Amino acid sequence: MLYGWGRVGVPAQEVRSEDLEAITKGAVLSRGLGRSYGDSSLPPPSRPTAANTTLADRILAFDEASGLLRAEAGLTVLDLNRLFVPRGFFVPVSPGTQFVTLGGMVAADVHGANHHVAGCFGAHVESLRLRVADGRIVECGPDREVDLFRATVGGMGLTGHVLEVAFRMKRIPSPWLVVETERMKDIDAFMEGLKAAARDWPWTKGWIDCLKGGAHLGRGVLFRARWAEPHEAPRHRPRARPRPGVPFVVPFSLVTPLTVRVFNSLVYHFPRRTRAIEHPETFFYPLDVVLDWNRLYGPRGFTQYQCVLPSATGPQAARRFLERLTRRGGASMLCVIKDCGPEGAGVLSFPKAGISIALDIPIHDDTQSLVDHLNELVIAEGGRIYLAKDAFTRPEHFRAMEPRLGEFERIRRAWDPQGRIKSAQSVRIFGDAP
Amino acid sequence: VKAVVFGATKGMGRALARLMAGRGDALFLLGREAADLEKSARDLEVRGGRGAVGWAPCDLERPEGFPGALDAAEKALGGLDAVIVTAALFATQDRLEAEPELARRLLVVDFANTVAFCEEARRRLLARGGGTLCVFSSVAGERGRKPVVLYGAAKAGLSAYLEGLDHKFHAAGLKVVCVKPGFVRTSMTEGLPAPPFAGEPEPVAARVLKAIDRGTPVVYAPAIWAAVMAVIRLLPRAVLRKIGF
């Protein structure tokens, strides 16, 4: 069995090798650490073997002056942070986990808490070395084979196998963060808070208690951060932290309306300093503290629902979304809200100017109808969902929210007329032959 | 430490070389493919951040190349404190039985040629007044067992050679470290069913590096395999004949 991070699996296997060129030859799909939540990293039923990139993790070049780094696709952000934070460099864009490979960051065109100023990861990529469907190896980038590049960035691995990634690391003044936190009493305050924070802070994000409705709808905590200047930072380096794990899949989900209610209250009322110098991992990767935390959702697993609601339909879109969610009582422990900057170059990249909301939802019998219900609202608002998280969206819903799909399929077919590269997700949503 | 690593492009060799580069050791890589060596050398340079990592092609199937490769290493390093060999050939027992030519090659590479390389290396280390020779053998060489009849035989020979070397040259300053990895999840074992106590390359590398620094003659990694093999060594022949392990 192979699983996405939501622990929903398919009968399939993967092959690992340091020699990525060898294992991607004729392969149906590449896969890194399998941290996409749904079925993006799972191969289709007819060809159930994925090429796993994680042993191909060599750094091939690094230029201290420009920050330009070239590496094999299996290199992880965990490794990059360990090596480069002490030297004064950080990845230009980081998702909410360090357990992600460069290939995965390209495929999902990941964004982070700095999306409003830095855009997606793809905006910092100089070139990609790609094995395309006919077996050839092609270099693409913003200046060559541009269509292939634009479709690959955010293309969920469906245009080819990423072999190498060249991108620019960012200089940082110290390895510590200045983090400010502020309670937000409702969704309107939150929207204002995010907007105000975006003006002065490179990293902003919010956590919402999405069980609260009525006057407290959308209450939560806003986090804003920047790198500490050398004079503000402690002298010592941030230490590597212990990572306790969840040793087995718990027999039933520990994420229930009751536990979420208690957890959310604790998070909201937890006494915080409004301004602190923090370990970067605390801000960027709060969930990485516990390994295999997805096992807490029990044998049925969970899904993440992430959508972006465009600012065009006004600041009330997030309110309408949360109202619909709380009416369904969709218990979500993790609800993250973040304002996105403008759409990037990736043909299928997720973010666009507006507000992004992400929810972790334990899987129940009614999860499909909950996702359908939320998707209908997202379509009405002119928003869209994030493929890297998705396991339930119907093809007709995806088409309705994704006018760019035609262009993506046109470029994809130009490079792969026989449809050799596909995933369980592309079969489910794009209508690829199983 | 000025060290030659033969087999640093993959698996446990890669993990060990990264640890050594990270703490500032000077490395020189030996291996089969130039392009692959070049990439690993760049990787170690960036990770180590302390100057150039050299390399030279060297193939365990071509013993005539051993002296030249070690010459190049000594010259580039400006000395030699340790020689580490993780390179070897591996195939499952089923495959070796089906392909006698592959079995013959494996026996030559993993025993005769590895020993020939070690002889070349230990002569150079002794000529410099001593040093460390660390060679990856295997727990497969502890007992004759069904799943590793041929591979295990080659590794048993290699382990015996390394023990003899230790006895003979210890007083002269040669520290021999015979590493006996249990099942470690690397590309070598990819596709094989992982037994209990399977290890990951990074902790294994950390344990081996400690053994190299201390000159421990025999090291099992992960450590639990010392206990597992102690039991296996005690099993009566009649029992070992019955079980599949």
Question: Quick one: three-class SS letters along A370-410?
Answer: HHHHHHHHHHHHCCEECCCCCCCCCHHHHHHHCCCHHHHHH
Alpha-helix residue ranges (DSSP H) falling in A74-114 = 77-84, 102-107
pLDDT of residue A376: 97
Mutating which of A21, A49, A58, A83 best tests the B interface, going by the most B Cβ atoms within 10 A? A58
pTM: 0.95
What is d(CA B59, CA B2) in angstroms, rounded to the nearest whole number?
Answer: 21
Q: Please, are residues B121 and B70 in contact by the beta-carbon 8 Å criterion?
A: yes
CB contact under 8 A, B47 and A87: no
Q: What φ, ψ does residue A285 adopt, rounded to 5°?
A: -130, 55
Residue B27 CA neighbour count, 13 Å, CB half: 35
Q: Please, are residues A194 and A325 in contact by the beta-carbon 8 Å criterion?
A: no
Full strand arrangement of the beta sheet holding A59-62: A59-62, A68-72, A161-168, A125-131, A137-140
Q: Which residue has the tokens 């069995």?
A: A1
Q: Please, are residues A122 and A110 in contact by the beta-carbon 8 Å criterion?
A: no
Nearest to A60 among B14, B42, B186 (CB): B42
pLDDT of residue B157: 98
Cα of A380 to nearest chain B Cα, Å = 48
| pLDDT of A313 above 80 | no
| pLDDT of B219 above 70 | yes
Put simply, whether B39 touches A (Cβ < 8 Å) is yes
The tens digit of pLDDT for each residue in A192-232 reads 999 999 999 999 999 999 888 889 999 999 999 999 999 99
The tens digit of pLDDT for each residue in A144-181 reads 999 999 999 999 999 999 999 999 999 999 999 999 99
Query: Residue B170, exposed/middle/buried by CB under 10 A (0-12, 13-18, 19+)?
Result: middle
Cα of B1 to nearest chain A Cα, Å = 21
Looking at chain A, the whole-number percentage of residues with pLDDT higher than 90 is: 82
pLDDT of residue A267: 86
Task: State the pLDDT confidence band at A243, using cuts at 50, 70 and 90.
Answer: confident
| pLDDT of A121 above 80 | yes
Alpha-helix residue ranges (DSSP H) falling in A227-366 = 257-269, 280-284, 316-328
Put simply, whether A287 touches B (Cβ < 8 Å) is no
| pLDDT of A330 above 70 | no
**pLDDT higher at A240 or A280:** A280
pLDDT of residue A210: 85
- Residue A418: how many CB atoms within 10 A of its CB? 9
CB contact under 8 A, B43 and A83: no
| pLDDT of A331 above 80 | no
Nearest to A60 among B11, B43, B190 (CB): B43
Interface confidence, given as ipTM, is 0.94
Put simply, whether B129 touches A (Cβ < 8 Å) is no
CB contact under 8 A, A18 and B9: yes
Q: Which residue has the tokens 């490794």?
A: A79
Task: State the pLDDT confidence band at B149, using cuts at 50, 70 and 90.
Answer: very high
Q: Please, are residues B210 and B23 in contact by the beta-carbon 8 Å criterion?
A: no
String of b and e for A76-104 (b: at least 16 CB within 10 Å)?
bbbbbbebbbeebbbbbbbbbbbbbbbbb
| pLDDT of A261 above 90 | no
Put simply, whether A15 touches B (Cβ < 8 Å) is yes
The mean per-residue pLDDT over the stretch A374-399 comes to 97
**pLDDT higher at A378 or A214:** A378
String of b and e for B57-83 (b: at least 16 CB within 10 Å)?
bbbbeebebbeebbebbbebbeebbbb
Q: Please, are residues A216 and A134 in contact by the beta-carbon 8 Å criterion?
A: no
Q: What φ, ψ does residue A91 adopt, rounded to 5°?
A: -60, 145
Full strand arrangement of the beta sheet holding A13-16: A13-16, A49-52, A30-31
pLDDT of residue A240: 80
**pLDDT higher at A286 or A95:** A95
The tens digit of pLDDT for each residue in B112-145 reads 999 999 999 999 999 999 999 999 999 999 999 9
What is d(CA A348, CA A408) in angstroms, rounded to the nearest whole number?
Answer: 7
Cα of B237 to nearest chain A Cα, Å = 36
Can you read off the two tokens belonging to residue A418? Answer: 């026989």
Q: Where are the beta strands (DSSP E) in A59-202?
A: 59-62, 68-72, 89-90, 125-131, 137-140, 161-168, 170-171, 177-184
Alpha-helix residue ranges (DSSP H) falling in A86-143 = 102-107, 115-118
Three-class secondary structure of residue B129 per DSSP: coil
Q: Please, are residues B137 and B164 in contact by the beta-carbon 8 Å criterion?
A: no
Three-class secondary structure of residue B221 per DSSP: strand
- Is cis: bond before B222, omega within 30 of 0? yes
The tens digit of pLDDT for each residue in A21-34 reads 999 999 999 999 99
The tens digit of pLDDT for each residue in B184-205 reads 999 999 989 888 889 999 999 9
Cα of B84 to nearest chain A Cα, Å = 20
pLDDT of residue A4: 96
Tell me how far CA of residue B199 lies from CA of A35, A158, A414, B185, B229, in angstroms: 22, 33, 44, 6, 15
Looking at chain A, the whole-number percentage of residues with pLDDT higher than 70 is: 99
pLDDT of residue A272: 77
Cα of A13 to nearest chain B Cα, Å = 10
| pLDDT of B100 above 80 | yes
The mean per-residue pLDDT over the stretch A341-364 comes to 95
Task: State the pLDDT confidence band at A237, using cuts at 50, 70 and 90.
Answer: confident
The mean per-residue pLDDT over the stretch A96-115 comes to 97
The mean per-residue pLDDT over the stretch A367-392 comes to 96
pLDDT of residue A257: 82
